[in-house]
Amino acid sequence: MPRFLTGLLTLLLLCTGPLWAEEVVLGLSKDKVSITTSFDGSDILIFGAVKREQAIPDGPPIEVIVTVAGPSTPLTVRRKAKRLGIWVNTDAVEVDRAPSFYAVQTSGPLREVLKDVEDLRHKISVPRAIRSVGAPSNISDAESFTEALIRIRSRSDLYQLREDAVTVSEQTLFRTAVRLPAALTEGDYVTRIFLTRDGQVISSYDTTIDVQKVGLERWLFELSRGQPLLYGIMSIAIAIAAGWAASAVFRMFRA
């Protein structure tokens, strides 16, 4: 075969892409969450389908991973130790970036549906979503600080790993519900869906959920940022009024 025909055939094969292309088609029960004074959390239903140009291929079944990440901020993780009978801060590690909320939900055990190299590439698991570099040279166990952060936020339901929480039907339809706790930071919550086969990511899709304070919650938040002195005076006045009202009620019942 002439050399130019061989090169042309190779180029066509590269441009054609995978024969069994599979893509995500996604839906959300709501793409906006409003935080009010009575907000106690919210459930987001995430559902979708796998779009194919061909029939379902033979081989390992398709798996689905869903992640929802709140705004990321830097923070300091400190370690306490007892010195002369008093608990004091001894070591500290600066975490460059940690999501305020992070949920991972999968259609099977995470170790089985996602290879480690793919996790490293896409930053899917909870530890990989946290960026911590440049720990002080006197700290040899910097990883334990990240583990402590994950443990603390997991107790508050701010970091979640829920395996077998995504239902996949007929290798085409999938759905899951992500629980957003009451203690949310407002901002864009990046939602990612990954399709995997044999541990390899074959398709992904990104969207966002808008989380914002509204009503009295929004007014108080803006007041505390824009006019902190007025906010402090108002907080003291409310505390005094509440204390006076409580004592008045107590005296009335004693009378």
The pLDDT assigned to 17 comes to 44
Query: Would you state the pLDDT for residue 5?
Result: 40
What tokens appear for 160 in the block?
A: 């979640």
Using alpha carbons, select from 50, 13, 44 the residue that is nearest to residue 196.
50
Residue ranges of the chain with per-residue pLDDT less than 50: 4-19, 215-216, 219, 223
Alpha-carbon distances, residue 220 vs 34, 53, 107, 215, 223 (angstroms): 15, 52, 41, 9, 5
Task: Sketch the domain layout of the chain as residue ranges.
Answer: 17-71+97-213, 214-247
What pTM was computed for the model?
Answer: 0.72
Strands (E), the chain: 22-28, 32-35, 42-52, 62-69, 72-83, 86-99, 102-106, 159-162, 167-169, 173-180, 187-197, 200-213
User: What's the pLDDT at 7?
Assistant: 45
In DSSP terms, which residues pair with 196 in a beta bridge? 63, 201
For residues 23 and 62, the answer to whether their CB atoms sit within 8 Å is no
- Paired tokens of 2: 């002439």
d(CA 253, CA 255): 5
**CATH of the domain spanning 17-71+97-213, picked from 2.60.40.3880, 2.170.190.11, 2.30.130.10, 2.60.40.420:** 2.60.40.3880
